[in-house]
Amino acid sequence: MTGRLTALEAAQRIADGSLTSEALVRACLDRIGEREPVVQAWQHLDMDAALNMARHVDRFGSGPLKGIPIGVKDIIDTADMPTGYGSPLYETFRPPRDAACVALARQAGASVLGKTVTTEFAYFQPGKTRNPRDPGRTPGGSSSGSAAAVADGMVPLAFGTQTAGSIIRPASFCGCVGYKPTFGLIDRTGVRPFAESLDTVGFFASTVQDAAFFASAIAGRPDLHFTDEVFRLRIGLTRTHAWEAAEPATATALDEAAARLRATGLEVREVALPERWRGLLDAQKTIMAFEAARSHAPEMLTASDRLSVKLRELLEAGALIAPEDYDAAKALVAESRAGFSDVLDGLDVLLTPSAPGEAPEGLEATGDPVFNRMWTALGVPCISVPALTGPSGMPIGVQVVGRWGDDRRALAASAAIEQVVLSM
C-alpha cells in the first residue's frame, strides 16, 4: 500500500500534493486484489465506485481525513452500499442513509472503500474472513473483516464495534491496533444495536497515532490527536480475575512488555482488582443477553429459523433472564465504575491481556472475549497494542485501559507503550 504508509503519513502527503487519493485507493485495491482471495475481509467492494469517489475527493474534498480510504464494518449503515449485518436476512438490504459515524467520516474527507465482514449481527457465528497471518486461524470477531483488512495492509483505517471483545480481541489476533473508546464517545446512530448499554463504535489502525487521528476526526475532538506527548507514565499491571484463562504465550507477552517498560525507567506495578469485580464478567454476560433478546425480538418473531444456533440460544436465554437479575448486573457495573478511580489511584493506565493467547486454529469460532468483557461493561477506553509473537509466530497484543472519559491519556500512554515494546 504505497510502501505501507501510515494514515497520518498518507494524509500529510495528500495535503502537500505529493500523493492523491486516487493513487492511494489504487494501491489499496491492488493489495486487495492480491490478498482478498486468501483473507476474505470484504463483504462489499465496488472498485469503480471507490476510484470515482477518490477522484471526487481529490477535486472537492477537505477535512483532516481528506483522501484517506476506510473500511466500514457491515453492521454500520451505508446509503451507497448494502448493509447485511452478517445475516442472510438482510443480504440485499440498502439503508436509506449513512450511519452517523460514516457521515462524519465522509464529512472529514474520507473515502469509504467498502464494507468489511462481520459475524452474524456482531455475535459469535463466524463470517468468511481468515486471519491474514495464518489463513487456517480465526481473525477473531465480531469485527473480523476490519481487523484483517487493516492488519494486511488493504486499507489504512477501519471502523469496528465492540459489545464484549469485538475490537480488542481481533486486533490482538491479527496484529494491528484496536481502539475501543469510552462508551458513547462515538455516536451510534445507524449502527445495528445488539446491547444498548454496551455497544461501542471504535477503530482499527496500524499505529496508535493513526487510531487517535481517526477518532479525533470522527468525534470532533482534536485533543485526541496527540503529538509526541511526553509525560511520566505510571502503569498498573493487572492480570484480572480471569487469569486462569491466560495461555503461556499471553503470560509471557504481558511479563515481557512490563519488563521492557521497566527497563526504560517507567513505573510498572502490580495491581489487584477488587474482589467484588469478580462478578463483572457474569454481569456483562447478563446485560448483553437480556438486551440482545429485546433488540432482536423482530427476527426471533418472524425468522428465528434463519438465525444461527449460537445466536438463537443466546436470545432464548436472554429472554428468560429476570429483570431483577438484569438490574443487579447493571448496579454492580455502576458501583464498579464509580470505584474505578480508586483502582487507578496514582496510575495513568492499566496494562492487561488483550486475549487469552494467539489466534486459535480453525474457523468455527472467533475466540474467547474473557479479557474484554469487564472493561466493556465498565465503558472505559481500551487500546490493544501489538506486543510480541507467540510460539506459533502469531501476534499477541497487550491491552491498555484508561479512565472513563480520559481517552487522550489512554491513547498517549498506549503510543508510549507501543514505542517501547516494539523498539526493543
pLDDT tens-digit profile of 262-320? Answer: 999 999 999 999 999 999 999 999 999 999 999 999 999 999 999 999 999 999 999 99
Active site residue 142: yes
pLDDT tens figures, 204-228: 999 999 999 999 999 999 999 876 6
In this prediction, residue 416 carries a pLDDT of 94
| Residue 77 lies inside a defined structural domain of this protein | yes
- What does pTM read for this prediction? 0.98
Please state at what angle helix 208-219 crosses helix 407-423, rounded to 10 degrees: 160
Per-residue cell: 1: 500500500
Total domain count for the chain?
Answer: 1
Q: Which of 21, 87, 111, 142 is an active site residue? A: 142
Please give the mean pLDDT across all residues of the chain. 96
Q: Which of 87, 143, 144, 166 is an active site residue? A: 166
Active site residue 285: no
| Residue 125 lies inside a defined structural domain of this protein | yes
In this prediction, residue 51 carries a pLDDT of 96
In this prediction, residue 99 carries a pLDDT of 98
Hey, what amino acid is at 287? I
User: Residue 192: pLDDT above 60?
Assistant: yes
Q: Find out whether 81 and 74 touch, Cβ atoms under 8 Å.
A: no
Q: Which of 21, 66, 73, 354 is an active site residue? A: 73
Active site residue 144: no
Please state at what angle helix 47-60 crosses helix 21-39, rounded to 10 degrees: 160
Cβ-based burial of 38 (10 A; exposed 0-12, middle 13-18, buried ≥19): exposed
| Residue 375 lies inside a defined structural domain of this protein | no
| Residue 152 lies inside a defined structural domain of this protein | yes
Average pLDDT over residues 228-255: 91
In this prediction, residue 423 carries a pLDDT of 76
Instruction: Domain of residue 39: give its range.
Output: 7-224
| Residue 282 lies inside a defined structural domain of this protein | no
| Residue 407 lies inside a defined structural domain of this protein | no
CATH of residue 138's domain is 3.90.1300.10
In this prediction, residue 333 carries a pLDDT of 98
Average pLDDT over residues 346-373: 98
Residues whose CB is less than 8 angstroms from the CB of residue 34 and which lie 6 or more positions away in sequence, other chains included? none
| Residue 89 lies inside a defined structural domain of this protein | yes
| Residue 328 lies inside a defined structural domain of this protein | no
pLDDT tens figures, 73-115: 999 999 999 999 999 999 999 999 999 999 999 999 999 999 9
Beta partners for 294?
none
User: Residue 3: pLDDT above 60?
Assistant: no
Residue the block writes with cell 475527493: 57
User: Residue 2: pLDDT above 60?
Assistant: no
